[in-house]
Amino acid sequence: MEWSFTDDRPIYAQLVEQMQRRIVSGRFRPGEQLPSVREMAGAAAVNPNTMQKAMSELERSGLVFAQRTSGRFVTQDEALIRQTRDRLAEEQLRLFFQQMGELGYTLQEAQTLLRREMEEAES
């Protein structure tokens, strides 16, 4: 499991985002047991307390749940996973259009560029 971090935001927040992406993309399937906090912390080269904080945040969101003696699991609530996926995608689109605006692109120009890139990616 590959992890990457930047210096612009707290590590635990980046862990949460990366775990969300892994869940909504199906890398971790609904109902699947997650590796232990220590295993994930080791793989990510972060302090286990930082990983624990991220996992607690995922539990609060409902994407992950804990079973006292068995560990943590991905929710089986596929509607919640889809909602989270849509929310993450919308955030990325807002950021994209904001950054394009900062580059001087109009909404129409940004849409044209996005459409062209999508067509290239499909071929």
Q: What is the mean pLDDT of residues 17-26?
A: 96
Q: What is the mean pLDDT of residues 6-29?
A: 96
Total of domains in the chain: 2
Do 69 and 29 belong to one domain? yes
Judge whether 103 lies within some domain: yes
What is the distance of C-alpha 82 from the center of its chain? 12
Confidence of residue 1 (pLDDT cuts 50, 70, 90): low
Domain that holds residue 113: 79-122
Instruction: Give tens-digit pLDDT for 60-109.
Output: 999 999 998 899 999 999 999 999 999 999 999 999 999 999 999 999 99
Judge whether 117 lies within some domain: yes
Judge whether 97 lies within some domain: yes
Instruction: Give tens-digit pLDDT for 31-60.
Output: 999 999 999 999 999 999 999 999 999 999
For 19, residues 6+ apart whose C-beta sits below 8 A from its C-beta are 28, 54, 55, 58, 63, 64
pTM: 0.84
